[in-house]
């Protein structure tokens, strides 16, 4: 795979999902990987720089942190961008409509171009498995595939399973929106989260009902969004992962723990 960047500069503005503040992004071509800039500090979007995985993925560098990067990172994965400079005014990514599709469409409009540099896929030497209670995630050597399964007590969500083989991200994965349970909203607000959330940028579930008047974009939109999230979290590796990935009831914490272990193993391989 050839490393690619955007062809022209791009501005994106919107409201952050968790903090509710206005965020402005300025994306420019780059050949040094995916790098965020906030208050003059450069933060490469790599696993070691992830500092928080509470309901979202946050990267940081000292006193500067940028939260909810996973949807933009997923969009960058979806259009095969390995290198991009992202200057952020604000502390969070714009939520857009709660999916990665608006980011994908803007990136496609800007266009991409090759850098004439090779992006070497990451291959595992042995399986990696991480467990947390009944939840787990595993990556094993082999060609890329991703099997994700969720299980919620809410009848509106229930148990869903999705297999993604790397094809047609734009139509099958990017439109899937983030979701939340109505009974969790007050708890999230008390924790300073979901302050910019609403039916315009999230699917809201109340036990056996979908609150959004337009309903779902896919019957299994919930698990598709989890696939969207993990693809963004794993793109912090900034290279294609040739691995059979399986996940059950996982979250950003497990996604990033896996990414950090893979990152560490690749660094050790380079040193050897």
167 tagged catalytic: no
Measured distance CA(250)–CA(130) in Å, rounded: 10
8 A C-beta contact, residue 173 and residue 78:
yes
DSSP three-state, residue 156: coil
Catalytic pick from 18, 71, 252, 255?
252
Q: What whole-number distance in Å separates Cα of residue 117 and Cα of residue 263?
A: 20
Of 242, 260, 258, 262, whose CA–CA distance to 250 is shortest? 258
**DSSP secondary structure string for all residues of 21-65:** -EEEEEEE--SS-EEEEETTEEEE-SGGGEEE-SSS-EEEETTEE
Catalytic residues: 252
């Amino acid at each position: 795979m050839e490393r690619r960047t955007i062809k022209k500069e791009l501005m994106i503005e919107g409201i952050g999902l968790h903090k509710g503040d206005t965020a402005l992004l300025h994306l420019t071509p780059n050949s040094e990987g995916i790098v965020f800039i906030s208050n003059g500090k450069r933060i490469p979007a790599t696993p070691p720089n992830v500092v928080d995985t509470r309901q979202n993925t946050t990267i940081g560098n000292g006193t500067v942190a940028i939260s909810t990067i996973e949807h933009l990172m997923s969009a960058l994965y979806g259009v095969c961008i390995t290198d991009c400079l992202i200057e952020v005014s604000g502390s969070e990514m714009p939520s857009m409509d709660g999916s990665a599709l608006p980011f994908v469409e803007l990136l496609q409009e800007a266009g991409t171009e090759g850098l004439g540099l090779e992006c070497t896929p990451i291959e595992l030497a042995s399986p990696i498995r991480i467990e947390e209670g009944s939840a787990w995630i595993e990556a094993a050597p082999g060609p890329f595939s991703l099997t994700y399964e969720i299980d919620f007590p809410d009848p509106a969500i229930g148990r869903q399973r999705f297999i993604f083989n790397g094809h047609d991200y734009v139509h099958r994965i990017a439109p899937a929106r983030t979701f939340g349970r109505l009974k969790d909203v007050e708890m999230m607000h008390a924790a300073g989260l979901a302050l910019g959330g609403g039916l315009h940028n999230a699917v809201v579930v109340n036990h056996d009902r979908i609150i959004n008047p337009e309903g779902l974009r896919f019957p299994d939109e919930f698990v598709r969004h989890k696939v969207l999230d993990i693809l963004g979290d794993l793109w912090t590796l900034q290279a294609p992962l040739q691995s059979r990935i399986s996940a059950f009831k996982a979250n950003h914490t497990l996604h990033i723990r896996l990414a950090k272990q893979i990152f560490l193993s690749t660094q050790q391989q380079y040193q050897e």
